[in-house]
Structure 1
Amino acid sequence: MTERRVNRGRRRFLVGATGVMGAVGAMGAAVPFVASWQPSARALAAGAPVRVDIAKLAPGQQVTVAWRGRPVWLVHRTPAMIERTRGFDPDRLRDPESRTPQQPPYADGPLRAIKPEIGVLVGICTHLGCSPVYRPEPGQPAFGSDWPGGYFCPCHGSKFDLAGRVFTNVPAPLNLEVPPHRYERDSVVVIGEDPEVADG
């Protein structure tokens, strides 16, 4: 009698343990399967689009987001910033008309933007890949009394205006890159997609 009870107890234990192990195995298989639905780090690094809500971006402010592992700046330019950028002396800029294609064709003109008030720039200096700093205030003594506001690279002294156009006589050879982008709504910018994607 005792031997039979022990066997039944052992059987219950083995059946229960097998059920628990089966459940653990099913969970182990389900987690990677569900995770496979999410974009991989490789896909994100390859350029999955990034949506940015700029509704709370105040005039004069800048926000930084990551796209393709690089910083992308979105700056809300004030009317005064726009006027200074448009009116800046083109002789002080290496490529004032942005003839070297560092931007998509829909982001042309002196402001290099779809909307004049919103600048979208890759925040990497075109010299050796440092990240410039945002210095929007005009006339800063460190940059000269005619400084219109813009970006300064602390690594080797390159300067860019608020449209990312590079100054003359600095190490950086090119304007800052303008990434592909479009407006999903007035307050949402999609970095990494051209406007034609939405239209097509």
Structure 2
Amino acid sequence: MMTVEWRGKPVWIINRTEEMLQSLVKAADLLVDPKCEEPQQPEYCKNDTRSIKPNLMVVVGICTHLGCSPGQKFKTGAEEGMPPEWLGGFLCPCHGSTFDFAGRVYKNKPAPINLPVPPHTYLSDTRLVIGEEKKGA
């Protein structure tokens, strides 16, 4: 995971593994907004992975509850102090909101909506520009 700053906020960039991508489908019934109906992402990221490129996640790493910074809980199951059925993702330590590998919030948590996806575009396979409001390339 890489963290960069955009408009004074941390933006997480993750090259998701196939296992992480598969967990997105498994988590759908457990999420508040699995289809991303709330406007927390540009239209070009309103899809199952909330991304332009399925393997790359780009989200603002600030909890939508009270603005805390969630931490990584990438390992599945109870290994990182999570419930046995945990699929991996992020945990906000302040109030317990959990998010999947697309930044979608789980049900019955304090955070009301998914983590925001900032506008972004790719200049090449290895260059990403955050803040550009272009349709994904």
TM, length-normalised to structure 1: 0.65
Alignment of 1:61-80 (within 5 A): 62-80=1-19
- Go from structure 1 to structure 2 and tell me whether the alpha carbon gap of 1:65 and 1:89 turns closer, same or farther (over 3 Å shift): closer
Using the alignment, how far apart are the partners of 1:170 and 1:80 within structure 2?
A: 24
Residue 195 of structure 1: how far off its partner (Å):
2.4
Which residue of the partner structure matches residue 128 of structure 1? Answer: 66
Q: Percent identity?
A: 50
Between Structure 1 and Structure 2, whose CA radius of gyration is higher?
Answer: 1
Q: CA deviation at 1:100?
A: 0.4
Unpaired runs of 5+ residues, structure 2, are none
Q: 2:128 aligns with which of 189, 194, 197?
A: 189
Alignment RMSD = 1.5
Runs of 4+ in 1 over 4 A off after TM superposition: none
Instruction: Provide the C-alpha distance between the structure 2 equivalents of 1:84 and 1:90, rounded to a whole number of angstroms.
Output: 9
* Number of equivalent positions: 136
- Code of the residue aligned with 1:135 in structure 2: it is K
Q: Is the 8 A contact 1:183 1:195 kept in 2?
A: no
- Which runs of 5 or more structure 1 residues have no equivalent in the other structure? 1-61
Specify the alignment match of 1:145 in structure 2: 84
1:74, 1:82 → 2: CA distance?
14
Counterpart in 1 of 2:110? 171
Q: Which AA in structure 2 matches 1:113?
A: S
CA contact (8 A) 1:130 1:153 kept: yes
Instruction: Give per-residue Cα distances to partners, 1:63-107, cap 9 Å, x unaligned.
Output: 00011000000001011111111x224221011101001000001
State the AA in 1 paired with 2:51: A
Compare relative contact order (CA 8 Å, sep 6+) and give the higher one, 1 or 2: 2
1:194–1:140 CA distance, 2 compared to 1 (3 A): farther
Specify the code of the residue in structure 1 equivalent to 2:90. Y
Deviation, structure 1 residue 143: 2.0
Q: 1:105 aligns with which of 43, 47, 54?
A: 43
1:118 aligns with 2:78: no
